[in-house]
Chain A
Amino acid sequence: EVQLVESGGGLVKPGGSLRLSCEASGFTFSDYGMNWVRQAPGKGLEWVSSYSGTSNYIFYADSVKGRFTISRDNAKNSLYLQMNSLRVEDTAVYYCARGVFDTWGQGTLVNVSS
């Protein structure tokens, strides 16, 4: 079964940092581009970042560029999102999604609040 499991969310103060993880199983992880997508409470979906499967292309939304860093470890079947200089407006459920969004994890909640 194809599965994505996010972890690492929590409560953090503005200006703080968090590292999210997404563990993949049930497919050849290195064959797929991977994405982070977030959803603020009561709001729509917002694409955050993507990492290509084998060619090391990385893309970021303007809203997180320079603050967030996406990475992956194909040996560990894992995707990561290092989030620095967090802002209140980064509060959201963060989802890991495979390829062109054909599989999603359950999400992990990041709450940035003083």
Chain B
Amino acid sequence: QAGLTQPPSVSKGLRQTATLTCTGNSNNVGNQGAAWLQQYQGHPPRLLSSRNNNRPSGISERFSASRSGDTASLTITGLQPEDEADYYCSAWDSSLSTYVFGTGTKVTVL
């Protein structure tokens, strides 16, 4: 099962804005939207944004998600040191009847 495509790494300065992308196709991201997850080394992932771009309770407003066609995006504004983590997208693929995950993006705050 093919995964969703994410850039391996993104580096931005403190308090800058980072935009992460997640590219799929019309059967997954384009059809169902994508959820976004954050994972610190050695910890389980946590949901940042559901596939309808809603933030769960407790997630900072600095994280916002959107979608255009087959590409989903996660924007992190006002980057903080604690935003250094791995970020994954995920979507349901209606053709494969499977979930697919992105390859992951490592965010570094300079």
Task: Say whether B97 contacts A102, CB under 8 Å.
Answer: no
User: For chain A, what secondary structure do more than half of its interface residues adopt (helix, strand, loop), or is it mixed?
Assistant: strand
Supply 4 further A-B pairs (C-beta < 8 A) apart from A45-B37, A63-B1. Answer: A44-B101, A95-B44, A102-B47, A105-B44
User: For chain B, what secondary structure do more than half of its interface residues adopt (helix, strand, loop), or is it mixed?
Assistant: strand
8 A Cβ contacts from B44-101 to A: 44-47, 50-51, 56, 86, 88, 90, 92, 97-101
Task: Say whether B44 contacts A107, CB under 8 Å.
Answer: yes
7 closest Cβ pairs, A-B complex: A47-B99, A104-B44, A44-B104, A45-B101, A102-B47, A45-B88, A59-B97
Closest to B52 in A: A100
Q: How large is the interface on B (under 10, 10 to 19, 20 to 34, 35 or more residues)?
A: 20 to 34
Number of chain A residues close to chain B: CB under 8 A: 22
Closest to B90 in A: A101
What are some 23 contacts across the A-B interface (CB < 8 A)? A37-B101, A44-B86, A44-B88, A44-B103, A45-B45, A45-B90, A47-B98, A50-B99, A59-B97, A59-B98, A61-B1, A61-B98, A95-B44, A100-B35, A100-B47, A101-B45, A101-B47, A101-B90, A102-B47, A102-B50, A102-B56, A104-B44, A104-B45
Interface assignment of A35: CB less than 8 Å from any CB of chain B: yes
8 A Cβ contacts from A53-103 to B: 59-63, 95, 97, 100-103
Interface assignment of A25: CB less than 8 Å from any CB of chain B: no
Distance in Å: Cβ of A19 to nearest Cβ of chain B: 21
Distance of A41 Cα from B92 Cα, bound (Å): 24
